[in-house]
Amino acid sequence: MKTDKKTRLVVIGNGMAGIRTIEELLKMSPDEFEITVFGAEPQPNYNRILLSPVLSGEMKFQDTVLNDWSWYKDHNITLHAGKLVTKIDRKNCVVEAEGGLAIPYDRLLIATGSNPIMLPIPGINLPGVLAYRSIDDVEKMLVAAKNSKRAVVIGGGLLGLEAANGLSLQGMEVSVVHLCDWPMERQLDQVGGGLLKNELEKRGLKFYLSRQTEAILGDDKVTGLRFKGGEEIPADLVIMAAGIRPNIALAKAANIHCERGIVVNDTMQTYDPKIYSVGECVQHRGQCYGLVAPLFEQAKVAANHLAEYGRMRYEGSAVSTKLKVTGIDLFSAGDFNPGPDDEELLLQDSARGVYKKLVLRDNKLRGAVMYGDTLDGPWYFQMMRDETDVSEMREHILFGQMHIGDSGRGGASNVANMPDSAEICGCNGVSKGTIVKTILDKKLFTLEEVRAHTKASSSCGSCTGLCEAILANTLGDYSAKPSKKALCACTEHAHHDVQEAITKLKLKTIPELMKALQWKTPDGCHVCRPALNYYLMAAWPGVYQDDSRSRFINERVHANIQKDGTYSVIPRIWGGVTSPAELRAIAEIAERHEVRTVHITGGQRIGLYGISKENLPKMWGELVEAGFVSGHAYGKALRTVKTCVGSEWCRFGTQDSTAMGIKIEKMTWGSWTPHKFKIAVSGCPRNCAEATIKDFGVVCVDSGYEIHVGGNGGIKVRVTDFLCKVATEAEVLEYCGAFMQLYRESAHYMDRTAPWIERVGLAYVKQHVVEDAAGRAALYARFFESQKYSQDDPWKERAEGKDAHEYKALATV
């Protein structure tokens, strides 16, 4: 079909899914398509989920417009706004619309969304009965709110409650009629629903639960409702919010296979291969969706296939919901009604108005309902999608991520109630107000966009949960990331896919890998290249040639860049033990090079600061002469092994922790890891070496050694998990090597041990390192294999002239 003529793409539906698909398509092939869009609504594309804030008066329609008229013009898109498509003629590949328009297509995209269900009861067509779907509906509701008093909303689901809340804020007396015993039964269990009802009643809503509407009363306009059983209530305005139905009339009339929705396959194609469909009108693997996050994933896939990249598949989405009623915090995801094999974890604090329920099956999270404190919603949701084994955090999981180590957030647990000035991202100094404003001004939808525009959550990532919560709160929509998160914008593949492909397809260089996995950029970016370099190095020790161009500067030049562009030099001090001779040597070198600052580091070493790049090799040469090697203080690598003086000096010491620390450091130094790796050995449980906030910590006791893993200091302090106890020094070394190797092989690049363990679960680590002796021995052996190639001192090599070009200017003019 490819000729030099452009492909004619016709889109039916100027809504969120249809236009998102075009946006994705323009990103991939900006010039290949001649695009025509039909929209039954007279407005340009707007953000339907913001209708609730418009109704409640918190926003204006203008604020919800996603693509204004000029966008269509700028992209040469012909828009027929306010024109209903009346027929799809598949035989001649033509779309017919009101006003006699007939537009031929090569490809057709159906994105007609859904229609509100209008109950087939007497009076449904009376003036004063409205649906809640479009801006037109909202404008009519606003007029009605000015001129009348009593509103009744039929349907106590998400939409119904948002409509009710909005009308009540507009000054109406509002009642909600609902079939079930509590509101939002699809998202909430009975307890959560009860709490919500109480809160809404406090705000003035009235509930008629377990009621079925039999008729809408009135002669020439609405005057009231009658329930089954005869009870009647008065009303001037009735809002139908009893559900939605995929809008499939057009497709059905054209004999495209439909069930509840238009049936599509994993490439978003209907049974007619020229016709694609996305959005609420679609049924995929038996599932219809009514939230934007899945629709955006569909849009991405459809665009990919329209552009003939033919790479992605849509595999369905997990969804979570939030209610957009200002001040009410509610979160729900997954399957929260426990079955016979499930366990239920509950937390209820009536005084604080907090309710949480988690449903577990086989030690994995299946569902969550939260009310009053939803900060951890995204965290639970992430663990659901990752299928994390949570058996080890059972006791704390209900209290949230903070109790698993995420301290330092000052107990902030409810973003809705945080002041605008609250600092969210400590790394980049970004406040809540800035994030909210940027989301609204720039019309952002995803965490990635928030990162790009505000820099929040783009450094250490500890505020990711907060940023997602703010996004959810601001948009009302918790934008689910695809369950598989791409490594970076250069690829669709996730970390895990890349790791697997490297071994499966025996990929041994970065260009090979990018080719095999169809990278979208010629040579990647600063996010993926270092990751690929690491994965290849970890997979093929001794074979893979480290690519210095894919290293961050610190690792490329083996020193830490400082804010003024100078570097620091930190030699290794084995186990923190030094001698007068070593100190003298360091002192002399520091003086000779006029080092500006000499500082004792937190890892029991000596840091020399303010060294210019040209000077590094010379200084290293002198240090090497004096017997030092690189401390790798600049790398995602083994950093330090911190020790206390142990039984050698301390009256409490149970073992020689110092000697053990030195042995461990001699074994592990030089190894590259997904992120920095710190070790400590304490001589007794008083733990002076702070072993329980290290990636690998040993605490000596009378009868042997306790091994702790997965701790870290830093922005998010996390205390280690207890792994096991062993009896001998040899075992400590073996467990240490095996643990490091497991981490090196299975963690994502840039994950420290803490998030890695939280993702895979401590049970997984125990299984491989503790329970499976043969597996442990194999991991240990692989660790040594890789160490064979990594214990060459990089400083010595460079002092001898390796990579000399890195350290001097090309020319002076």
Partner 1 sequence: MNWIQIGNLEDIPRQGSRVVQTNDGEIALFRSVDDKVFALNNKCPHKGGPLSQGIVHGTRVTCPLHNWVIDLETGNAVAPDVGCAHRHEVRVAHGVVFLEVKAGACKAAA
Contacts with ligand SF4, residue ranges (CB under 6 A): 644-646, 650, 652-653, 657, 682-684, 686-688
**CA-CA-CA-CA torsion for 705, 786, 755, 746, nearest 10 degrees?**
-110
Residue 801 interacting with partner 1 (CB under 8 A): no
Residue 31 interacting with partner 1 (CB under 8 A): no
Q: Which of 196, 291, 589, 770 binds ligand FAD (CB under 6 A)?
A: 291
For the bound state, the minimum distance from the C-beta of residue 652 to ligand SF4, rounded and expressed in Å, comes to: 4
Q: Taking CA 573 as the corner, what is the angle to CA 568 and CA 579, rounded to the nearest 5 degrees?
A: 115
Q: Taking CA 403 as the corner, what is the angle to CA 402 and CA 404, rounded to the nearest 5 degrees?
A: 90
Are β-strands 343-349 and 232-234 bridged in parallel, bridged antiparallel, or unpaired?
unpaired
Q: Which range in 157-165, 519-527, 732-740, 771-779 contacts partner 1 by CB under 8 A?
A: 519-527
Residue 453 interacting with partner 1 (CB under 8 A): yes
Residue 522 interacting with partner 1 (CB under 8 A): yes
For the bound state, the minimum distance from the C-beta of residue 609 to ligand SF4, rounded and expressed in Å, comes to: 11
Between 246 and 683, name the residue whose CB sits nearer to ligand SF4: 683
811 binds, among partner 1, ligand FAD, ligand SF4, none (CB under 5 to 8 A by kind): partner 1
Are β-strands 430-431 and 423-425 bridged in parallel, bridged antiparallel, or unpaired?
antiparallel
Residue 611 interacting with ligand FAD (CB under 6 A): no
Between 560 and 787, name the residue whose CB sits nearer to ligand SF4: 560
Strand spans (E) along 710-793: 721-726
357 binds, among ligand SF4, partner 1, ligand FAD, none (CB under 5 to 8 A by kind): none
Q: Which of 530, 541, 617, 710 binds partner 1 (CB under 8 A)?
A: 530
111 binds, among ligand SF4, partner 1, ligand FAD, none (CB under 5 to 8 A by kind): ligand FAD
Give the Cα separation of 334 and 331 in Å (integer).
11
Minimal CA–CA distance to 657: which of 668, 671, 642?
642
Query: Do 46 and 81 meet the contact criterion of CB atoms below 8 Å apart?
Result: no
Minimal CA–CA distance to 486: which of 260, 312, 272?
312
Non-local (6+) Cβ contacts of 364 within 8 A are 384, 387, 388, 389, 390
Query: Do 69 and 44 meet the contact criterion of CB atoms below 8 Å apart?
Result: yes
Residue 155 interacting with ligand FAD (CB under 6 A): no
166 binds, among ligand SF4, partner 1, ligand FAD, none (CB under 5 to 8 A by kind): none
Q: Which range in 20-28, 226-234, 248-256, 556-564 contacts partner 1 by CB under 8 A?
A: 556-564
Beta pairing partners, 343: 360
Strand spans (E) along 590-715: 597-600, 606-611, 638-643, 677-682, 696-701, 704-709
CA distances from 697 to 304, 643, 661 (A): 47, 10, 10
684 binds, among partner 1, ligand SF4, ligand FAD, none (CB under 5 to 8 A by kind): ligand SF4
13 binds, among ligand FAD, partner 1, ligand SF4, none (CB under 5 to 8 A by kind): ligand FAD
Minimal CA–CA distance to 297: which of 436, 492, 435, 133?
492
Between 47 and 568, name the residue whose CB sits nearer to ligand FAD: 47
524 binds, among partner 1, ligand FAD, ligand SF4, none (CB under 5 to 8 A by kind): partner 1
Residue 159 interacting with ligand FAD (CB under 6 A): yes
Residue 117 interacting with ligand FAD (CB under 6 A): no
Give the Cα separation of 599 and 606 in Å (integer).
6
Q: Where are the alpha helices (DSSP H) in 148-213?
A: 158-169, 190-202
Tokens for 707, please give them. 């091994």
Between 123 and 697, name the residue whose CB sits nearer to ligand SF4: 697
Tokens for 593, please give them. 């090079």
Residue 799: which H helix or E strand, with range? helix 794-799
Between 653 and 761, name the residue whose CB sits nearer to ligand SF4: 653
For the bound state, the minimum distance from the C-beta of residue 478 to partner 1, rounded and expressed in Å, comes to: 23
Q: Where are the alpha helices (DSSP H) in 361-431?
A: 377-386, 394-397
Between 600 and 811, name the residue whose CB sits nearer to partner 1: 811
561 binds, among partner 1, ligand SF4, ligand FAD, none (CB under 5 to 8 A by kind): partner 1
Q: Which of 472, 507, 557, 641 binds partner 1 (CB under 8 A)?
A: 557
Q: Which of 128, 290, 334, 571 binds ligand FAD (CB under 6 A)?
A: 290
Name the 3-class secondary structure at 539. Answer: helix
Minimal CA–CA distance to 746: which of 735, 760, 766, 762?
760
Residue 477 interacting with ligand FAD (CB under 6 A): yes
Residue 661 interacting with ligand FAD (CB under 6 A): no
The structure tokens 């092939």 sit at 29
213 binds, among partner 1, ligand FAD, ligand SF4, none (CB under 5 to 8 A by kind): none
**CA-CA-CA-CA torsion for 581, 586, 588, 589, nearest 10 degrees?**
140
For the bound state, the minimum distance from the C-beta of residue 442 to partner 1, rounded and expressed in Å, comes to: 8
Q: Which range in 105-113, 167-175, 503-511, 537-545 contacts ligand FAD by CB under 6 A?
A: 105-113
Give me the 246-285 binding string for ligand FAD, x by CB under 6 A, dash otherwise: -x--x----------------------------xx-----
Are β-strands 343-349 and 354-361 bridged in parallel, bridged antiparallel, or unpaired?
antiparallel
Q: Taking CA 170 as the corner, what is the angle to CA 168 and CA 175, rounded to the nearest 5 degrees?
A: 25
Non-local (6+) Cβ contacts of 351 within 8 A are none
Tokens for 411, please give them. 């107990």
Residue 377 interacting with ligand FAD (CB under 6 A): no
Binding site for ligand FAD (CB under 6 A): 12-18, 38-41, 48-49, 51-52, 84-85, 111-113, 132-133, 159, 247, 250, 279-280, 290-293, 295, 324, 476-477
List residues near partner 1 by CB under 8 A. 442, 452-453, 455, 458, 521-526, 529-530, 548-553, 556-557, 561, 563, 565, 805, 809-813
